[in-house]
Amino acid sequence: MRKNAILGAVLGAMLATTAGATVAQAADREIVIGYQAPLSGDRSQYGEMFRNAAQIKLEEFNASGKLAGAKVAITFEDSKDDPKEARNIAHKFLDNTKIVGVIGDFSSTVSMAAGEIYAAEKMPQLSQTASHPDFTKLSPWQFRNITTQAFEGPYNADWIIAAGKKTAAVIYIQNDWGISALDGFVSGFKAKGGKITATEAFNPGNRDFRSILTKVARQKPDVIYLAMFYEEGAAFAQQREQLGIKIPLYGTSSLYSPKLIELGRESVEGLHLATTFTPDNPDPAVQTFVKEYAARFKSEPGMFAAQAYDAVGIMLDAVAKAGPSVTRESLRDALAATTNYPGVTGATSFDPVTREPAKALAKMMVKDGRFQVVTGP
Amino acid sequence: MVFDVFFLQQVINGLSIGCVYALMAIGFTLIFGVLNVVNFAHGEVYTIGAFVGLMVITAMAPPLLAVVPLVLAVGAVSGVGLERIAFRPFRRFTDEASQKSRAMREATLLSSLAVSIMTREIMMHIFGGDMQGIPSGYLLQQPVAIGPIMVASGSLVIFATSAVMLGALQFLLYRTQTGLGIRAVSNNQLGARYVGINTDRTIVTTFAVGSMLGATAGILVGLYDGAISPHMGFAPGVKAFVAMVMGGLSSIPGAVACALLLGVSESIATEFLSSGWKDLITYSLLVITLVFFPQGLFGHGRERA
């Protein structure tokens, strides 16, 4: 008897929610954006940041009244940073006729796995972080709002050469993204007359860099260039300190997170990197976002949260431009026409041919326990 | 110029990482030895040890040595709980056919895998997937110079702990009544039952001891790595598993020796190959061992049901 009562209550509650949803739809047209990101598994911290930032942007947008006669909703799916999951999600999103555009995924590998399906079935896809050069080459349906390693690598290489350093060892994570970061940096560094002493890959999930450090220390390069994420970056810097190695560290923007300093402490002092987002930026849009994020989620937003915030913003602005009766086709065209979208990671425009975003990078280093903008080499 | 001070440093690096694998392999092998079933949830016991240790540290800031008994207790409790949930239900059938049944063994293996995944997901929901930093006063990362060689204080602590654990376990197994019981059950569960050994109690004791060691390993490696996360148990768990198989499945000194061998091989291999090949070295060693020493390097060639 008790079991039946509980079952009844649950069913009742479910019916009530469904009824509620139907009423809401009747009142207003609903446009849905799919968001696929790793919400569980060992990259889930990034998915959480994306979801947090996306929620803030979505509420701002719906409250702004930019889109009359319709409300936008975002439906999240957990890709677990797994290409197989991403493909399943892609099919699921395609089957849902309300979904007109997709944001995600996190890593280039997973974004491209889903992207192949979106390309074939004509669904616009915007990744907040996929920086592999091939991602936007999949089809005219792929967009991203992050600078690629083909751009960032040579930029960092110029910076290192300008600082009078001629030799570098590169440590990179063994995945699509890591390899593209390696290629971007190495070609840029060699083009400027620099010499690469070693390129060392490590497998994702590895936290012991002592043997790589020992090997690299033997060659005495002027700098070590890190193409990895902040968890690994913090471990790398700590172990470098334990081994008494003093070679300066430079890294990709993926290291840019308050967590790098929280985990790495003194060992990350002096680490240099270039990034599109700094929470210290006095721009009012940045400060509004930083304050709102901190108030809701009790932490300072890093570059990843900012990337998602802007990706959602770009997508929603495109939806608004395409009007309340938006289709996948019209949304793609509206996305492609994005020019000077005023985001917290700088103004974004898509190149009409390559759909690559043009963005400005800021040079930063860790100084006195926080990221600070550096001017000059 | 390969055999220089850097090379010696690589050997030391290898021993440090090997000790981490060994620390985990000890409890793992103990449980396998008795039940003849892989306990996939050992990695989660390790993670629980790390998280409980960190919670105690952030909440009360006790001296490090006071954290250890608490982590040991938590390990024992999770070991007993794990045995109750994932292993005991399959021991209801006490007849000889069920005990030797392969299906029963595989079901047990999967139930421990299920508990492992559930525990990890629950921890993810409680603590989040993010890496959690360790308060700096507790880090075992101070560089210690031994001549031209550098080690972290944590490596020394982990090395000493592995040695103590190994010694204490050998004493427990070969010098005490409990140990005699564990060895009897490990050798022949039915036989042990027929001669009046309380096999259930022995198995629970083994789980408690093995998990105590696992949980301690978790917090120590956390302090040494400087960060913990709900996924931290997976990678060393796989290496510990390889060390256990190479060591002959139920030989604890064998697992420790093979864990050190794996660590040193990985580290030295980095000198000659890119370190992305590291895991390949581990698994090649495993395959080579199994081809040439089917019983493992330290196996006794005992009959397996």
pLDDT single digits (tens) B16-31: 999 999 999 999 999 9
Mean of pLDDT over chain A = 88
CA distances from A246 to A172, A222, A261 (A): 19, 10, 18
**What confidence score (pLDDT) does residue A252 get?**
93
| Closest Cα in chain B, distance from residue A44 (Å) | 5
Closest partner CB to B10 (pick from A44, A47, A214): A214
Mean pLDDT per 10-residue segment, chain A (377 residues): 51 47 54 94 88 95 89 94 94 95 93 95 94 89 89 92 95 90 95 94 87 92 95 93 93 89 92 88 89 92 91 95 91 93 89 85 89 77
Residue pLDDT, tens place only, B42-82: 999 999 999 999 999 999 889 988 999 999 999 999 999 99
**What confidence score (pLDDT) does residue B249 get?**
86
Model confidence at B258: pLDDT above 70: yes
Model confidence at B1: pLDDT above 60: no
Flag if A210 and B16 touch (Cβ within 8 Å): yes
Closest partner CB to B124 (pick from A40, A203, A262): A40
Flag if B226 and A238 touch (Cβ within 8 Å): yes
Flag if A215 and B10 touch (Cβ within 8 Å): yes
**What confidence score (pLDDT) does residue A276 get?**
84
Contacts A45 to B, Cβ<8 Å: 128-131
Interfacial residues of B (vs A; Cβ cutoff 8 Å): 4, 6, 9-10, 13-14, 16-17, 20, 121, 124, 128-131, 133, 136, 141-143, 145, 150-152, 225-227, 229, 231, 234-235, 266-268, 270-271, 274-276, 278-279
Those residues whose C-beta lies under 8 Å from the C-beta of residue B181, and which sit 6 or more positions away, are B192, B197, B198, B202, B205
Backbone angles phi, psi at B129, to 5 degrees: -80, -10
Model confidence at B247: pLDDT above 50: yes
Contacts A264 to B, Cβ<8 Å: 226
Neighbouring-strand partners of residue A367? A370
**What confidence score (pLDDT) does residue A177 get?**
86
**Mean pLDDT, residues B110-121:** 93
Q: Check if the beta carbon of residue B227 is closer than 8 Å to that of residue B131.
A: yes
**Mean pLDDT, residues B190-209:** 92
Flag if B143 and A242 touch (Cβ within 8 Å): yes
**What confidence score (pLDDT) does residue A275 get?**
87
Contacts A48 to B, Cβ<8 Å: 128-130
**What confidence score (pLDDT) does residue B253 get?**
93
Listed residue (A271, A98, A85, A112) closest to A180, CA to CA: A112
Coarse DSSP helix, strand, coil percentages of chain B, rounded to the nearest 5 percent: 75, 5, 20
Contacts A44 to B, Cβ<8 Å: 124, 128-129
Residue pLDDT, tens place only, B135-146: 888 989 899 998
**What confidence score (pLDDT) does residue A6 get?**
54
Q: Nearest chain A Cα to B280, which residue? A: A203
Is the pTM here over 0.90, yes or no? no
Show the domains of chain A with their CATH numbers. Answer: 26-147+282-360 (3.40.50.2300), 150-275 (3.40.50.2300)
Long-range contact pairs involving A288-293 (C-beta distance under 8 Å, separation at least 24):
A289/A53, A289/A56, A289/A344, A292/A56, A293/A52, A293/A53, A293/A56
Map tokens 């409250």 to a residue.
A63
Contacts A203 to B, Cβ<8 Å: 276, 278-279
| Closest Cα in chain A, distance from residue B189 (Å) | 38
Model confidence at B11: pLDDT above 60: yes
Residue pLDDT, tens place only, B81-108: 999 999 998 888 777 777 777 888 888 8
Contacts B228 to A, Cβ<8 Å: none
Model confidence at B301: pLDDT above 80: no
Q: Token pair for residue B243?
A: 């060390």
**What confidence score (pLDDT) does residue B302 get?**
52
Map tokens 């995600």 to a residue.
A104
**What confidence score (pLDDT) does residue A24 get?**
44
Closest partner CB to B121 (pick from A40, A259, A263): A40
**What confidence score (pLDDT) does residue A325 get?**
87
**What confidence score (pLDDT) does residue A271 get?**
95
Closest partner CB to A263 (pick from B133, B150, B151): B133
Closest partner CB to A200 (pick from B4, B128, B275): B275
Q: Nearest chain B Cα to A41, which residue? A: B129
Q: Token pair for residue A297?
A: 């989620």
| Closest Cα in chain A, distance from residue B232 (Å) | 9
